[in-house]
Homo-oligomer: A and B are copies of this chain.
Amino acid sequence: MNRGLKMRDRKLLGGLVGGGLGSFIGPVHRMAGILDGQADFVAGALSSNPEKSKRSGKKIYFDPARVYSNYRDMAEKEASLPAGKRIDFVSITTPNVYHFDIAKTFLEAGFHVICDKPMTCTLAEARKLRKIVAQTGKVFALTYTYTGYPMVKQARFMVSSGMLGTINKVVVEYPQGWLSRFLEDTAETWRTQVWRLNPELSGAFCTVGDIGTHAENLARYITGFKIKELCADLSSFIPGNVLDEEGSVLLHYIGGAEGLLHISQVSTGEENGLNIKIYGTRMGLYWNQDSANYLAAKMPNGQSVTYSKGAPFLCDESKQASRLPLGHPEGVIEAFANIYREAYKAIRAAMRGESHEGYDFPTVDDGVIGMAFIESVLVSAASQHKWTLMKR
């Protein structure tokens, strides 16, 4: 349909790796990627099982010719199609362990990449990927979901504007409870049900890589703070499990602020309780993803102000990240779509031959810091929780 159209007159074309039938995050990428009518997904290697890939592609109306058996094929064949027909970018939604090679493959085949987090399985891989991104000059976006929320952008603005005064403390919590159903599971059914508990698919970590990195990224996105050193306590309660299920991390930030990061996937009854509190000398800020459309500014002396998504006095970044007026709730898909939207701007800029720097989405650098955080936590936890310098 778009063939022959100038790039500015057509939607972008996207490919998918992973995200076949039964996937949680695959559909989120698909919905977020098309929400604003800026792109369509048209090709994919949707599963490592070619048959499942095929069935998955049919379900979402892909041309069977563009449903591939594996991502290497896909990269090669798509690259051979003419511009305007071939995909412009690929979205990676597989388990962690495949991210690096898929990203490398598509970047080197000339495609822009949008990748789920954590970026890789190791810091070493992350550093390599950073180099590849630099060498290829392609856009690389990482979907740290929560930075896409309008009120998170407002929080970042308020911090950078100095409205909080000097920040002394950051408390970020991310409790979930979904792994607690295995706490009394001696049949070890989790081995097959949850790839994140399988070191071969998840890497040397579970929870700290699944949600700990979200928490670290959110705190850093809002405050800009870099971790100097950390002291971590990781635990596991599921019988037989070798990866982390929950942990607490004390943080010392460069510049003197303190941090506390608490994560869990065995906090029974918690759903997706990411929240952050930032305390400055002049006010405190509180954001909770469960009521993501609000941001609370806690003033000294008994006054608390709640700002609503879409309010006219919010910063531009926040307002632009909202698609609906005041009082009309937006959720995770819309936040995710904000990351896509910014990545699309960068991709279109790159396609026009312009600089694609400066757009508001997580980059490969964020991915490197994310992996440095994960590995530093693992080192501290493994060494009797010694204070450990943050890796770079």
Contact = CB atoms under 8 A, between A and B. Distances in A.
A317 to B, nearest CB: 16
Contact of A298 (B37, B177, B178): B177
A233 B27 CA distance: 42
A181 B327 contact: no
Contacts of A328: 272, 331-332
B303 A304 contact: no
A38 B51 CA distance: 22
A68 interface: no
Contacts of A326: 178, 271-272, 301-302
A73 B323 CA distance: 31
A333 interface: yes
Contact of A290 (B61, B300, B329, B384): B329
A391 B10 CA distance: 50
Contacts of A292: 329
A302 B308 contact: yes
Interface in A256-309: 258, 260, 262, 264, 266-273, 277, 279-284, 289-293, 297-309
Nearest to A269: B298
Which residue, of A61, A165, A235, has the highest number of chain B Cβ atoms within 10 A? A61
Interface stretch (A87-95, A110-118, A121-129, A168-176): A168-176
A112 to B, nearest CB: 19
A376 interface: no
A357 interface: no
A267 B183 contact: no
A34 B36 CA distance: 9
A180 B165 CA distance: 11
A9 interface: yes
A312 B303 CA distance: 10
A342 interface: no
A50 interface: no
Contact of A324 (B184, B270, B289, B332): B332
A284 B269 contact: yes
A216 interface: no
Contact of A271 (B235, B302, B330): B302
Contact of A329 (B266, B298, B301, B331): B331
Contact of A284 (B270, B304, B385): B270
A325 interface: yes
Contacts of A329: 289-290, 292, 329, 331-332
Nearest to A281: B183
16 contacts: A164-B268, A168-B235, A178-B325, A231-B233, A231-B250, A268-B299, A269-B283, A269-B304, A271-B308, A272-B325, A272-B326, A301-B326, A305-B305, A324-B332, A330-B331, A385-B387
Interface of A: 1, 9-11, 24, 27-28, 30-31, 34-37, 40-41, 58, 60-61, 164-166, 168-169, 171, 175-178, 180-181, 183-184, 231, 233, 235, 237, 246, 248, 250, 258, 260, 262, 264, 266-273, 277, 279-284, 289-293, 297-314, 323-334, 384-385, 387
Across chains A and B, which 9 residue pairs bring their CB atoms closest together, nearest first? A269-B298, A271-B327, A302-B311, A272-B327, A329-B331, A302-B308, A269-B284, A1-B1, A183-B281
